Amino acid sequence: MRCLLQILHVSLRDHLRNEVIRNHCERQPTIEELIQKRRMRWFGHVCRMNGSRLPHRLLWKTRPAQWKVQRSAPKKTWIKQAEENPKNRRLNLDEARNLATDRQAWKRLLNEIRNSLAPIAAYPLRGQPRPNTS
C-alpha cells in the first residue's frame, strides 16, 4: 500500500482509506485476492496430477482419529480452505475437482479471476493532482 501512496503522491496524513487508494490505482488486487487466485491455481494443478503422486494423495487424505492435534495447530486444514474458494465462484469442491481435470476450463475460470483483479491501465494517475478524500 505504501508503494501506491508514493505513486499517487499521497501521504499518510491525508487519511485516505485503502479502498479509495486502490480505486484510484484502477483497483489493484488485495493480498487476499491474490492468495485466493494462487490457491485455486495450485488446487487445479494437484487435481490433474496422477493419483499416486504424494501431493495428490495428501490433499485428499484425512487425519486418522487417533492422532492428537497440537493446540497450536491451524484450526482450518488446507482442504477446508480450498472448499471456501470455489464457493465464491458458486462451485462445490467436487465440481471444482471435476472442472480442474479439464485444464482449459480451469484456465478460463482462473482467467476470469485474473481479469477481475487486473488493473485496466498501469498507473494512469502519475503526475496528476492529489485525489480528493470524498
Q: What is the structure's pLDDT at 122?
A: 44
- Whether 22 and 50 map to the same domain: the answer is no
Average pLDDT score, the chain: 78
CA distance 28 to 40: 19
Q: Summarize pLDDT for 13-70 with one digit per residue, the tens.
A: 777 787 787 777 776 677 777 888 888 899 999 999 999 999 999 888 888 888 888 8
- Whether 23 and 79 map to the same domain: the answer is no
| All three cell numbers of 33 | 485476492
Residue 9: domain span: 1-28+120-134
- Whether 3 and 22 map to the same domain: the answer is yes
- Whether 132 and 104 map to the same domain: the answer is no
Write down the pTM of the prediction: 0.65
- Whether 113 and 124 map to the same domain: the answer is no
Ramachandran angles phi, psi of 29, nearest 5°? -70, 150
Domain for residue 82, yes or no? yes
- Whether 17 and 46 map to the same domain: the answer is no
Percentage of the chain exceeding pLDDT 90 = 13
| All three cell numbers of 115 | 481479469
- Name 55's Cβ contacts closer than 8 Å, sequence gap at least 6: 46, 49
DSSP string computed for 17-69? -HHHHHHHTT-PPPHHHHHHHHHHHHHHHHHHS-TTSHHHHHHH----TTS--
Domain count, the chain: 2
- Whether 53 and 101 map to the same domain: the answer is yes
Domain for residue 69, yes or no? no
- Whether 83 and 134 map to the same domain: the answer is no
CA distance 86 to 47: 14
- Whether 1 and 49 map to the same domain: the answer is no
Domain for residue 65, yes or no? no
Q: Dihedral (C-alpha) 117, 121, 125, 127: value to the nearest 10 degrees? A: 140
- Whether 39 and 55 map to the same domain: the answer is yes
- Whether 53 and 14 map to the same domain: the answer is no
